[in-house]
Amino acid sequence: MTISELARMAGVSISTVSKVMNNKDSSISQSTRERILQLAKEYHYSPTSSVRTKAVRTLTIGVIFRSSQRMNLALNGMIASAQEKGYTILIRESGEDLGEEYKNISALMSYDVDGILWEPVSEGSLGYADELEAKGISYLLFNLGVEDALNLDYKAMGYYAVQQLISRGHQSIACLLTEGTRTDAFADGYRQCLFDNGLPRNEEMIFSSINENLMWKISNHTISAVISSHFKTATELYDAVHELYYNLPYDISLISLKDAGRSSINYPKISTITIPYYEYGAYMCRELIRSIENPEAELPSGSFSHDIVLDDLYTVGIPYNSHMKKTIVVGSINIDNYLNVEELPYSGKTVKSFISSSYAGGKALNTAVGISKLGHQVSVIGNVGNDSESDIIFSALNAYHINPSAVKRCQGQKTGQAHIFVQPDGESMITIMSGANNALTVSDVVRNQSLFDNASFCILQTEVPTDCLIEAARISRARGIRTVLKPATSGALPEELIKNIDILIPNQNELADICPGKGSMEEQAKSLLLMGAGTVIVTLGDQGCYMVSADSEKYYPAQDFDAIDASGACDAFISSLVSYLIYGYDMDKAIRISHYAAGFSVTRQGVIPSLIDRNSLESYIRQREPELLEKQRSE
């Protein structure tokens, strides 16, 4: 600061300042004297400061931050480079105050620093540069959107994040921004990458907060991935997604920028691009020192060049609609009422029961729970009543993470009921009151056909109107989805349905109802192949099953388990069969694994309580038949 500038700021003459600074101020008022001295202290003025030269180096560098807390890692890099070169660093902080910034510049000039690393408050700050140039002090601007500044390349980071997602098949990518110095450049990189890849740049996909619109798009899978400019906001989105009972990256992928100082944070695990503040600070300091020691050297400007790397893949996957591991189940939803009896009733025979219990059930719900326990996404299309028992059904859907969006409450209808008599050896007899199951319509299936998008299997059961099954099978066949049909209480099946079924799984009684008078069990099964079914598996209770297809025919033995209740064995078998076909096992291994699942199910009463999870099932198989789980798959 010069004496004339100090005089102007104090509102006095140059001679008045000179008198005060040289203790010749007896004629000057106390208030004027104090004002001049206070300004001199704030701006580090001394009578000789305006005539000092840079004849000798002080080996001192000044650093002026807007916020040293935000740039603390950059400061660490600066200090390391300065120490390596034998320089000392003086640090000042301006906040967002232009006046404070000028005081910092004046202070560093008074200390005769050799150069300054300067993060300006705004472009308006650059007028102060004239004083630095007048004193021959090198300075390097950083973190300011002007041509002469050296900046971290947030645009390249935004571009890289989007490219990583596009390379994995994502097209519906949102950008979540938090206000800050990186925001605009990060968003520009997002837009540029979409443009370069021929994807639409929809400004409605750029969000400044986690609002209802963003969460609605995520919950409806309108968005398959999000990039976030700030890690804190990304963690908030992570939590919000989990509150919807969605999983990352299965339902949505997420990539965020991250300060290197957050590298020790273990939760939540989010895929990140670490901002190289330390390297940035170290590079700037080295370049400033180079310009101090070689005045002919040019200072860098533009973007700081560095390798951009995705640190991990915790929350990066393929788009939700590309998983091809979803299953739809269309069929009955009931309350299962169990009665334990000494022997099953028959015509003219009355039996007593001293034990009864009730569970959520029905073939559609039972199969869906089995598939969910074995590790897959599953949706149910079906009806319940508007009674209190429907609440039990929805509680079960929620408990087992089954998509309930296509389960409809029907006004004036009762939830279906199954009355199941079980004798001590596990044999059972079932009576069904269909209730709301009979109210399922073709329009219910059509209305929910979005559930079929990129599904891998559709499982059908005949305890609902047949025209609904025909429509579901037609939609599945048109989309390349494999179909499984479990007939029950059905009688003959229309060929229009059978020809669209890939795997048909009756028991012996059901097979006889479907194919009356067509010879042996094997001949009946083969007649269904002639009608268009792809594979027929006839379940034989504790004798295992018989499988026949166009190129294979085989009997499979059951696994030996002590039976308590066999009523859910077929549901367990079908759940496991579909699950392991999805996992990529061939039909032979999938059937053998499924006999273990069915065996476990007969050891407990009730269907849903007896369905086994994947970990327990595979742990048991590894102890007895480990080669069965070897990854020799038919893709």
pLDDT for 196 equals 95
Predicted TM-score (pTM) of the model is: 0.54
Ordered DSSP codes for 399-460: HTT-B-TTEEEETT-PPEEEEEEE-TTS-EEEEEE-GGGGG--HHHHHHTGGGGTTEEEEEE
pLDDT for 330 equals 98
Q: Is the per-residue pLDDT at 47 higher than 90?
A: no
Q: CATH code for 154-275+311-320?
A: 3.40.50.2300
- pLDDT tens for 370-410 read 999 998 889 999 999 999 999 999 999 988 989 999 999 99
Q: At what angle do helices 587-601 and 569-582 cross, to 10 degrees?
A: 150
Q: Predicted confidence band at 520 (pLDDT cuts at 50, 70, 90)?
A: very high
Interatomic CA distance for residues 590 and 572, integer angstroms: 12
Percent residues over pLDDT 70 in the chain? 94
Domain ranges in the chain with CATH number 3.40.1190.20: 324-344+355-629
pLDDT for 2 equals 77
Q: Predicted confidence band at 477 (pLDDT cuts at 50, 70, 90)?
A: very high
Interatomic CA distance for residues 557 and 635, integer angstroms: 26
Q: Predicted confidence band at 633 (pLDDT cuts at 50, 70, 90)?
A: very low
pLDDT for 56 equals 56
Helix, strand, coil share (%) of the chain residues, nearest 5: 40, 20, 40
The H or E element that residue 116 is part of is strand 115-118
The H or E element that residue 75 is part of is helix 72-85
Q: Is the per-residue pLDDT at 353 higher than 80?
A: no
- pLDDT tens for 406-431 read 999 999 999 999 888 878 776 777 78
pLDDT for 52 equals 46
Q: Is the per-residue pLDDT at 288 higher than 80?
A: yes
Q: Is the per-residue pLDDT at 289 higher than 70?
A: yes
Phi and psi at residue 350, in whole multiples of 5°?
A: -100, 135
Mean pLDDT, rounded, for 122-151: 91
Q: Predicted confidence band at 341 (pLDDT cuts at 50, 70, 90)?
A: confident
- pLDDT tens for 207-260 read 999 999 999 999 878 899 999 999 999 999 999 998 887 889 988 999 999 987
Residue scoring higher pLDDT (565 or 512): 512
Q: Is the per-residue pLDDT at 41 higher than 60?
A: yes
Residue scoring higher pLDDT (526 or 606): 526
- pLDDT tens for 55-86 read 456 789 999 998 877 778 899 999 999 999 88
- Topology of domain 324-344+355-629, CATH: UDP-N-acetylmuramoyl-L-alanine:D-glutamate ligase (3.40.1190)
Q: Is the per-residue pLDDT at 549 higher than 50?
A: yes
Using DSSP's 3-state secondary structure scheme, residue 58 falls into coil
pLDDT for 324 equals 57
Mean pLDDT, rounded, for 284-290: 95
Kindly give, in sequence order, each residue whose CB lies less than 8 Å from that of residue 11, ignoring residues fewer than 6 positions away: none
Domain ranges in the chain with CATH number 3.40.50.2300: 154-275+311-320
pLDDT for 631 equals 57
Interatomic CA distance for residues 201 and 206, integer angstroms: 9
pLDDT for 635 equals 35
- Topology of domain 1-51, CATH: 434 Repressor (Amino-terminal Domain) (1.10.260)
Q: Is the per-residue pLDDT at 48 higher than 80?
A: no
Q: Predicted confidence band at 46 (pLDDT cuts at 50, 70, 90)?
A: low
Q: Is the per-residue pLDDT at 325 higher than 80?
A: no
Mean pLDDT, rounded, for 559-586: 91
